[in-house]
Structure 1
């Protein structure tokens, strides 16, 4: 991010930290779709991704006073997003284990007529999401951050609290496993 853009975003952040909901709304509008894309790849369902995105943004608003300007806001927000998704995935897994059945979530294209709708899920996208769902959480997160969101190795390391070498290793393993899964699909 350029220095001028970073300074502008920092001004919005300071206003949000002072309770300005409109300033936080600016940040929301700027990063919301990126958040949803990340969550869609992690959750496998657009409806669930949007629900978790809402939870993540509520957490961000509640914790905005803790943002310390050390990392980019996008990195900080991503950390909240991934942690919220991991919590939701763990909750889903506990519920599935408790009921003894694993429900297959079938995503149907939404009938919402909103003009901002960018996420149209087709059969190939569902196949990819299914393949991503087979990866371990750490590998899936690293792959989604890198390939869908364009994060650098360092940004992924910062967001996931690991070293860049670990990020590279996870990405390599994720790509190999995903290639195998993709090749073996029926």
Structure 2
């Protein structure tokens, strides 16, 4: 990037579409982490999710000329991801691996100082993971995408190919089911419950 200049996303896309294809690396860097988390939520397999994210980015680079700005670039990219996921399912007849929620703890960081507090957080996060894993798929996917993958409601609608209103309804119902189990949403690292109304 010339002179280490930081471009806005819209300018970056415009320059790539104008022929500066080398800038796509920066665009991919900005979206790769959230794209990988969304892929993981869909397929629940680490290697498969990495392959899906790479394929989506590659396809995004090849067809960026088709991006017309009528939606967020992330929404467009997640739409590609979902298409690749469904295509891979048909090709591989993939069996769903066990939930990553039961194996990994995306909520914890190494920065917690108090060991007693750390233990309580670990116990709370474990209860949360188990509770989310037991939700119906339609609620589990929305909650994982919203809070663990930190996807916007619009992006979730693109990933799952459902209307925005359906995403809001599923998120509301999923959070309500967690409340009924005495699971508090403040256990999430980036709770945005207000998004249900947005």
Instruction: Output the TM-score relative to the length of structure 1.
Output: 0.62
- Give runs of aligned pairs for residues 25-174 of structure 1, distance below 5 A: 25-92=25-92, 94=93, 123-125=103-105, 128=129, 132=133, 135-136=136-137, 138-157=138-157, 160-174=160-174
Cα gap change, 1:58/1:172 in structure 2, threshold over 3 Å: closer, same or farther?
same
SS in 2 for 1:57: helix
Count of residues in correspondence between the two structures:
154
Q: 2:161 and 2:69 mapped to 1: Cα distance?
A: 17
Per the TM alignment, residue 132 of structure 1 is displaced from its structure 2 partner at its CA by 4.5
Q: Structure 1's 49 and 157: CA in aligned 2 closer, same or farther, altered over 3 A?
A: closer
Tell me the alpha carbon deviations over residues 73-123 of structure 1, each in whole angstroms, 9 at most, x when there is no partner: 12211221233223334444x265xxxxx8x5798xxxxxxxxxxxxx983
Deviation of residue 43 (structure 1)? 1.9
SS in 1 for 2:30: helix
Distance 1:12 1:139, change over 3 A: same
Unmatched runs of 5 consecutive residues or more in structure 1: 1-6, 97-101, 108-120
TM-score (norm 2): 0.59
2-structure distance, mates of 1:53, 1:133: 26
Going from structure 1 to structure 2, the CA distance change for 1:133 and 1:26 (only over 3 Å counts) comes to farther
* Residue ranges of structure 2 left out of the alignment (5+ in a row): 1-6, 107-125, 184-198
CA distance in 1 between partners of 2:145 and 2:58 (Å): 21
Shift of the 54–158 alpha-carbon distance from structure 1 to 2, 3 Å rule, reads closer
Relative to 1, partners in 2 of residues 1:171 and 1:77: Cα closer, same or farther, differing over 3 Å?
A: same
Aligned counterparts of 2:24 and 2:152: Cα–Cα separation in 1: 25
How far apart, in 2, do the equivalents of 1:133 and 1:52 lie?
25
Q: Secondary structure at the match of 2:63?
A: helix
Structure 1 stretch displaced more, 166-175 or 41-50: 166-175
Q: Tell me, yes or no, if the aligned pair for 1:76 and 1:159 is still in contact at 8 Å.
A: no
